Structure 1
Amino acid sequence: MINQIDIASFGSFSGLVWKKVVRDSGKNVKTFQRLNILYGRNYSGKTTLSRIFRALETGKLPSNYTGASFTVTGNKGAVTCSELLTHDYDVRVYNRDFVAENLGFLVNQDIGGEIKTFAIVGEKNKEIDDAIAAVETKLGSVEAKAGLRFDLEGRKKERDRTKGGHSAALSALDGKLRSHAADKIKKNPQYGVPVYNIDNIKRDIATTKTAGFTPLTLLEQAAKAALLKQEALPDITATLAIALRYESLKSQAEPLLSKSITPTKPIQELLNDSLLQLWVKQGIPHHRDKRDVCAFCRQSLPHDIWQTLDEHFSKESGDLEKDLENTIDAVKSEIATVAGLITLRNDQFYTEQRSSFDTCSQALADELGIYKKDLEGLKKLLEARKNDLFQPVELPPSLHNPKEIQQHVNAINDLIATNNNKTKTLEEDKASAKDALRLADVSAFADAITYDSELANIATLKTNADTADTAYTSAEKEIRDAEVEVQTLRNKQRDERKGAGRVNSLLNNFFGHDGLKLEPRDSPDKATVKFEITRDGKAAYNLSEGECSLIAFCYFIAKLEDPDSKGKELIIYIDDPISSLDSNHIFFMFSLIESLIAKPVKKADSSNAYRYKQLFISTHNLDFLKYLKRLSIPTKKIATGDGKTKSSSDHEHFMIERNGAGSNILLMPSYLKDYITEFHYLFHQIYKCKDQAAAQVSHEPFFGFGNNLRKFLEAFLFFKYPYHDDKSDSFERIKKFFGEEEDTAIALVNRLNNEFSHLEAVPDRSFKPIEIPEIAMVANYVLDKIHASDPIQYNALLKSIGEPERAA
């Protein structure tokens, strides 16, 4: 159904926003219901509004409506001017455009306008009916929970469910990928990717799944991260070169250590005590030619002391000592040289080479430590021989390995070469490190979200969705084929002559026009049929406006039974079908709408089935509006909040009004909606004044009481005493109705009748407050008198204003 219409620009409507203007007294937005009655004076915009509905029916805008813009909103979605050919609303409109398009003859009788033919279902053909029934049974319905249509609904739900499951799983995975790509990769300066999206991360995940990919270890990641912080280092210009002299020193020391010498006249005591001999030897420089007394014991030195010592410490021993000292100095020099052999530092190398440099440097230092120990051992042996010149010493084998030392030197030199080359490739290496770190991150992320399992699950869901979609498409095609078959069968029953017969039946049965008919005429070739209006068997011209209205509306009603309309849930819009019709025809028009459209059909379970999905009727005629209030009112079930439902009326009344150049849609005011006649309205206003406490809630009826009472009594008493003579004025009628004995009451009623409904003779009346208790008293007096006079009529009046009957 259609709920509301927003009209930015269309004919006399401009800037109409439904939710702003169509509200009740409580500011609640109201919408179109199943049955909608619209009232508007001529030229208020009724036909313009109907043209919006007709645009939905025809799929095109009427001519000369440039710049049109509107939105029709309902349970099947919103429809704008650009979507007139794609909506799902089945609309049928009766308005002047319908008449002009289908019944051109009625518009242009002088130039012989045409009347379009239409077909309705012809005479029953049992064989075709059985075939149609069989296909219809096969088709079934959702409501009946059987047949292809019901199965299609199930397949649709399954398609939507599987499609939704696949979409949800895919969206969830994509959401994780997008989030990680944006928050963890793109925003991480370490990776250096200012543009990184879901496509990039999917490609990276695919790379991590290739056979040659190996994730970085934590140590490798740390090294790559450190490399990214590395700045270009200066080249290491010197290489490491170590020349070991141990062998040459050994060759020099070995003869000295093994050489045997003897003193000329040895002092046996010194030979027996090497320390004493060293002590004596060291004391010679401190005493020779310096002292005659021993610096230690203070005894005089013997006169032959120097000759004796020279004979013990011969020239040969002195030469050996001198050679030993020279060799010791050479060994010391080599030991000092070893300490300064490794001059390279860790920070001269790039991060990636530092670990290898440290390893090689430490290994070289360890080997040089052994080499140093060999030198120090050699030095000790030389010093020991020097201290004991007459005692030869044997040289043990060395422990250091010159080949290993050279291997470590070569390894360090290789690192120097690699490090120097690194400066040239640093930027490329950094880019590679960024890629490696990013892929390591992506690989860990893919494992954390079980990416492969998610893909497998999504693939399964996609297969299920495709299978369900295929099943739905096949079922949908099967239904379309069956519907085509039904239409083909129905086409065999089409009979355009029956269309004219149906129009004539409506004219005759509802309006009594048996002389005016719509006759089918065969074309000269007998191939086609055309419609012609006749009167008493002859072609009719100069039809009155009322006759044109009757024929046009009967044509519309009959056309609702053509194959394109019959059996569909129609939204019917009838625009002002009354034109130059007398009161009888107006009633018959109402009867036609009520009996063939509005009146529900009882189903087997006694519930109502309606012959329309939604019905709109607009009019400018108050008599017709009065009849429309008697239409069968549809009902609907609404929830009560406690899990139950209750029936409620499913109709609404609207008013179309025009202010200046613009039209508007409003809720119909109560004075038009709630009362069939003004007489009922006046009675209701008097009834509201029976209780003076009601003035606290609504004072308007009390201010209008005098005028309302006067008009009500004039109408009520005129019909009660319709005779006329010179004495039958309104006051005489009041006295006759209330009785001669009630002079006081009659005077009070007459006073209120005059003073409260006229201010010309009593202008001060408007400056005083009204006497509410007096009004309530008179209201009850009048009501009681009417009830006493005719309780049946009184209760009927109460019923007309929605009040309970009064007990006798």
Structure 2
Amino acid sequence: MRTLRKPSNILLQIDATQLRGMGSVINQIDIASFGSFQGLEWKKTVRDSGKNVKPFQRLNILYGRNYSGKTTLSRVFRSLETHKLPLNYFGSSFTVYGEKGNVAHTGLAGHSYDVRVYNRDFVTDNLSFLVNQEIGGVIKTFAIVGEQNKEIDDAIAAIEAKLGSVEGKAGLRFALEAKRKERDRAKSAYTTASNGLDDRLRSHAAEKIKKNPNFRSPVYNIEHIRRDIATTSKPGFVALTTEEQAGRLKLLKQEALPDITDTLVVALKLDSLTATAEPLLSKTITPTKAIEELLKDSALQLWVKQGMGHHREKRSTCAFCRQDLPHDIWQVLDEHFSKESGDLEASLDAAITSVTNEIGTITGLNTFAGAQFYVDERAAFEVSGKALSQALAVYKKDLEALKKSLETRKNNLFQPVALKTPSHDAQEIARHVADINALIAASNSKTATLEKDKTAARDALRLADVFAFADAITYEEELGRIATLKTTSDTAGTAFTDAEKEIRDAETEVQALRAKQKDERKGAERVNALLNNFFGHDGIKLEARDGADNATVKFEITRNGKSAYNLSEGECSLIAFCYFIAKLDDPESKGKDLIIYIDDPISSLDGNHIFFMFSLIESLIAKPVKKPDGSNSYRYKQLFISTHNLDFLKYLKRLSIPMKKLPAAEGVKAKSVSDHEHFMIERNGASSNIMLMPSYLKDYITEFHYLFHQIYKCKDQAAAAENHEPFFGFGNNLRKFLEAFLFFKFPYHDDKNDSFERIKKFFGEEEDTAVALVNRLNNEFSHLEAVPDRGFKPVEIPEIAKVANYVLDKIYASDKVQYNSLLKSIGEPERVS
């Protein structure tokens, strides 16, 4: 018989960093969809008899028959280790709840749980040779920390002390945290100020510029308003006045006008008229024989002259006094009004007519209207037109004065009249005429450039708006404040980056030092030591051989020094599990608070190997380590072990149970309690479920108790609506239970058909009907070969419930104490009647 060897020192080395406190654990799992798990809600299913929800503990033992869902559950944990879902698990949905935060199937890449899982997938990923021995696979190499080197350890310790920690409030890491907070604060202040200004710019651009129909800027955004503010900040920029803005707005409403085809022409004739009139006004004439009375009275003279036209050759009497005209009246008057005076009068009439015509011309000279001009020229035209009218009014007065002078001379032909000096300014009038003609030309040219002018007007109006907005928000001052905040943020960021680099350099140096302690060959040695010390397999080894490049190492399985093939299933299981245990000492795992999940490590192993597997788990994982103060420390943060093997489950009861201290409460002292729990994985139909392990498995671990529980479940036919599995397996379960129960009840019987005889003896020969019914269910319902049609008929639930109650009642009547003990083992209350 093989004996358990004492583990070598290399197996019992314990890194001080492994002796940690509990840390963060996983409490529960909800699985909406993952393989055989569908709709698992932890809080609804994992409850004790008092309906209290029971979470995972530090040590968790899980039992389930083959195909119940154990490996599927382990794959949930392995997805935490690999940070990705397994292949062909598309559409999966689950959430893991723990003290380091919840992790959903969509957040596998970012969680911080350190999980290591031993299951079928681990073997496939790391030891594919064991899966594909015929076609050849590989065994991934791994390094473990080699022998301790004091100088390297001291150097690492010094660097670690320099690095310190946030929790310890010392070292580079603690200082980095302060720099991180300062960086975040400075960055937040800069970002808030910058975003605040951007928000104001963006809001004004969208609400005041983009939506203003006058600006026609449908794609105006924050970059556009920044450019406009830069334009208004340039030297020489002058924003539009209120009046100018009004003018630009009018221009935007302006439609194209027809061209003004005429021009203003003003030809002043006063000089030529004066030249004609001046000799007439100054000419001196005398009558042939003057009538003194008329010379002295110009009005009378005019009256007489006018009267001559009414009387000559028309009347012989005076139209005024009715007296006969003197016979020489016409001779006397003709001698007074000579031909010279008549010629002068005619010349004066012609001059007066010319002046009168000029006055009429001036009155209707400027026929243009402001509506004919565009907005910009219209105002200038109104000014020039008004000025021209005023200048022409002065010119008209000069004409009227000349006309009056001519009329005065005409009325008194014999009296010269002095000519007044003109008041008008001919150059001014010409200037106004030129200005108006220039405005006509400018307005006509506007038709061709109207749209361009409108665009310029819109730009000017928009820039005026932006200029006022920038001034209102003190844009330049705000830019200066933000620039200062950015400098502060950049300085804090640089300080953080430099500190982070210093830490990274130090950590790199630590890794380099630890790399000097790594040795891949020792990984193979550790596996071999486990195989030899715990399982006595010194023939099968994991050899570390140089690779083809002589620079790398590869692992190879050998038997008696030669490459080994055709390994048995048991040998594969031993190698794979020892590989997993040894790999817990690789640099990626050693020293971390690990959540370890071991899925059904028993496969094709005999009884000794099962015990040795338990011993390996207990010695190197589960067994606590005493700290200097006498308290226990554990090599794991949380441990899960699942199995289908009842013998192995029995051994797992002997694992070292971790303890936890409950804090003191009012009236209750602090106390230590066990920190472990037992769970059961069951599969009903196509769906798996997790529940607390029944006491008959947790406390007794025998199939006998399990069979009794299955029969007990069938006593109430209504239970089939919720869980039909016990009813379908009732015949087989009843047969096996009665064989065990009655064998120990009646250990010896000389009849060959002792099983049937035991039934008759227990139930009583007088109850033939009951015996026949039990025998029918015991045989017919547990076998189909003799009655294959039974496989195509529904299970007779009422008949099963009747037999279950009959058997239970008979056991109770036979031995009440034993029956109540069986009830207690399955968590049911005692029967009292």
Once residues 795 and 113 of structure 1 are traced to their aligned partners in structure 2, the CA distance between those partners, rounded to angstroms, is 51
Structure 1, 477-486 or 156-165: larger mean CA deviation = 156-165
Once residues 233 and 483 of structure 1 are traced to their aligned partners in structure 2, the CA distance between those partners, rounded to angstroms, is 82
Contact map agreement 1:155 1:471 (CA 8 A) in 2: yes
Indicate how the Cα distance of structure 1 residues 765 and 55 shifts in structure 2: closer, same or farther if over 3 A, else same.
closer
Contact map agreement 1:320 1:389 (CA 8 A) in 2: yes
In the alignment, structure 1 residue 513 sits paired with structure 2 residue 536: yes
In the alignment, structure 1 residue 565 sits paired with structure 2 residue 589: yes
Q: Secondary structure, in 3 states, of the residue corresponding to 1:668?
A: strand
Q: Secondary structure, in 3 states, of the residue corresponding to 1:212?
A: coil
Once residues 529 and 335 of structure 1 are traced to their aligned partners in structure 2, the CA distance between those partners, rounded to angstroms, is 124
Q: 1:241 aligns with which of 236, 260, 265?
A: 265
Amino acid at match of 2:39: R
Contact map agreement 2:714 2:726 (CA 8 A) in 1: no
1:549 paired residue number: 573
Offset at residue 402 of structure 1 (A): 1.4
Amino acid at match of 2:426: P
Q: 1:729 aligns with which of 747, 755, 758?
A: 758
Cα deviation, 1:654-712, whole Å, max 9, x if unaligned, reads 789998xxxxxx6526598998367666777888899x9x9799886999699699689
In the alignment, structure 1 residue 140 sits paired with structure 2 residue 169: no
Amino acid at match of 2:582: A
Amino acid at match of 2:425: N
Cα deviation, 1:737-776, whole Å, max 9, x if unaligned, reads xxxxxx9xx999999989999999xx9996989999x999
Indicate how the Cα distance of structure 1 residues 135 and 753 shifts in structure 2: closer, same or farther if over 3 A, else same.
farther
Once residues 465 and 788 of structure 1 are traced to their aligned partners in structure 2, the CA distance between those partners, rounded to angstroms, is 80
Q: 2:689 aligns with which of 668, 683, 703?
A: 668
Once residues 733 and 138 of structure 1 are traced to their aligned partners in structure 2, the CA distance between those partners, rounded to angstroms, is 80
Contact map agreement 1:367 1:401 (CA 8 A) in 2: yes
Once residues 605 and 258 of structure 1 are traced to their aligned partners in structure 2, the CA distance between those partners, rounded to angstroms, is 146
Indicate how the Cα distance of structure 1 residues 210 and 271 shifts in structure 2: closer, same or farther if over 3 A, else same.
same
Q: Output aligned runs, 1:213-228, within 5 Å.
A: 213-227=237-251
Contact map agreement 1:576 1:620 (CA 8 A) in 2: yes
Q: 1:362 aligns with which of 386, 389, 405?
A: 386
Q: Output aligned runs, 1:180-195, within 5 Å.
A: none
Q: 1:210 aligns with which of 229, 234, 237?
A: 234
Contact map agreement 2:34 2:92 (CA 8 A) in 1: no
Indicate how the Cα distance of structure 1 residues 794 and 54 shifts in structure 2: closer, same or farther if over 3 A, else same.
closer
Once residues 538 and 621 of structure 1 are traced to their aligned partners in structure 2, the CA distance between those partners, rounded to angstroms, is 34
Once residues 451 and 610 of structure 1 are traced to their aligned partners in structure 2, the CA distance between those partners, rounded to angstroms, is 63
Structure 1, 106-115 or 787-796: larger mean CA deviation = 106-115
Indicate how the Cα distance of structure 1 residues 254 and 303 shifts in structure 2: closer, same or farther if over 3 A, else same.
same
2:351 paired residue number: 327
Once residues 362 and 737 of structure 2 are traced to their aligned partners in structure 1, the CA distance between those partners, rounded to angstroms, is 139
Unaligned runs of 5+ in 2: 1-24, 47-54, 663-673, 782-792
Q: 1:352 aligns with which of 376, 400, 410?
A: 376
Contact map agreement 1:503 1:555 (CA 8 A) in 2: yes
Q: Output aligned runs, 1:243-642, within 5 Å.
A: 243-257=267-281, 264=289, 266=291, 268=293, 271=296, 274=299, 278=302, 281-291=305-315, 299-303=322-326, 306-307=329-330, 310=333, 314-315=337-338, 318-389=342-413, 393-422=417-446, 429-494=453-518, 499=523, 502-503=526-527, 506-507=530-531, 511=534, 513=536, 544-568=568-592, 570=594, 572=596, 574=598, 576-583=600-607, 585-586=609-610, 588-589=612-613, 592-593=616-617, 596-597=620-621
Query: Percent of aligned pairs with the same residue?
Result: 53
Amino acid at match of 2:40: D
Offset at residue 723 of structure 1 (A): 3.2
Cα deviation, 1:571-624, whole Å, max 9, x if unaligned, reads 656454222023564465356446655688899999998755777766665766
2:5 paired residue number: none
Indicate how the Cα distance of structure 1 residues 538 and 189 shifts in structure 2: closer, same or farther if over 3 A, else same.
closer
Q: 1:23 aligns with which of 24, 29, 39?
A: 39
Indicate how the Cα distance of structure 1 residues 394 and 770 shifts in structure 2: closer, same or farther if over 3 A, else same.
farther
**What TM-score comes out, normalization by structure 2 length?**
0.67
Indicate how the Cα distance of structure 1 residues 535 and 513 shifts in structure 2: closer, same or farther if over 3 A, else same.
farther
Offset at residue 480 of structure 1 (A): 2.1
Once residues 319 and 625 of structure 2 are traced to their aligned partners in structure 1, the CA distance between those partners, rounded to angstroms, is 153
Amino acid at match of 2:689: M
Cα deviation, 1:251-290, whole Å, max 9, x if unaligned, reads 433454455667745474895583x665555454344444
Q: Output aligned runs, 1:20-99, within 5 Å.
A: 22-24=38-40, 41=66, 46=71, 53=78, 92=116, 94-95=118-119
Once residues 454 and 193 of structure 2 are traced to their aligned partners in structure 1, the CA distance between those partners, rounded to angstroms, is 37
Once residues 515 and 114 of structure 1 are traced to their aligned partners in structure 2, the CA distance between those partners, rounded to angstroms, is 22
Offset at residue 792 of structure 1 (A): 7.3
Indicate how the Cα distance of structure 1 residues 103 and 253 shifts in structure 2: closer, same or farther if over 3 A, else same.
closer
Cα deviation, 1:459-484, whole Å, max 9, x if unaligned, reads 33433333233223222222222223
Amino acid at match of 2:160: E
Amino acid at match of 1:459: A
Q: Secondary structure, in 3 states, of the residue corresponding to 1:374?
A: helix
Cα deviation, 1:384-426, whole Å, max 9, x if unaligned, reads 4444556654444332111211222222333344445555655
2:22 paired residue number: none
Once residues 473 and 307 of structure 1 are traced to their aligned partners in structure 2, the CA distance between those partners, rounded to angstroms, is 132
Unaligned runs of 5+ in 1: 8-15, 638-646, 660-665, 736-742
Cα deviation, 1:303-338, whole Å, max 9, x if unaligned, reads 469449827962355444433332221211111111
Amino acid at match of 1:562: D
Amino acid at match of 1:135: I
Once residues 131 and 806 of structure 2 are traced to their aligned partners in structure 1, the CA distance between those partners, rounded to angstroms, is 60
**What TM-score comes out, normalization by structure 1 length?**
0.69
Offset at residue 207 of structure 1 (A): 2.8
Amino acid at match of 1:23: G
Once residues 558 and 133 of structure 1 are traced to their aligned partners in structure 2, the CA distance between those partners, rounded to angstroms, is 25
Once residues 661 and 472 of structure 2 are traced to their aligned partners in structure 1, the CA distance between those partners, rounded to angstroms, is 55
Indicate how the Cα distance of structure 1 residues 578 and 169 shifts in structure 2: closer, same or farther if over 3 A, else same.
farther
Once residues 773 and 250 of structure 2 are traced to their aligned partners in structure 1, the CA distance between those partners, rounded to angstroms, is 106
Contact map agreement 1:44 1:657 (CA 8 A) in 2: no
Indicate how the Cα distance of structure 1 residues 201 and 78 shifts in structure 2: closer, same or farther if over 3 A, else same.
farther
Structure 1, 702-711 or 212-221: larger mean CA deviation = 702-711
Indicate how the Cα distance of structure 1 residues 246 and 561 shifts in structure 2: closer, same or farther if over 3 A, else same.
same
Once residues 597 and 391 of structure 1 are traced to their aligned partners in structure 2, the CA distance between those partners, rounded to angstroms, is 150
Aligned length: 757
Once residues 702 and 780 of structure 1 are traced to their aligned partners in structure 2, the CA distance between those partners, rounded to angstroms, is 22
Indicate how the Cα distance of structure 1 residues 792 and 575 shifts in structure 2: closer, same or farther if over 3 A, else same.
closer
Once residues 340 and 604 of structure 1 are traced to their aligned partners in structure 2, the CA distance between those partners, rounded to angstroms, is 124
2:18 paired residue number: none
Offset at residue 21 of structure 1 (A): 6.7
Once residues 722 and 114 of structure 2 are traced to their aligned partners in structure 1, the CA distance between those partners, rounded to angstroms, is 48
Cα deviation, 1:35-61, whole Å, max 9, x if unaligned, reads 79696847999599969959975x999
Once residues 683 and 619 of structure 2 are traced to their aligned partners in structure 1, the CA distance between those partners, rounded to angstroms, is 26
Offset at residue 556 of structure 1 (A): 1.5
Offset at residue 135 of structure 1 (A): 2.6
Offset at residue 229 of structure 1 (A): 5.6
Offset at residue 244 of structure 1 (A): 1.6
Contact map agreement 1:22 1:29 (CA 8 A) in 2: no
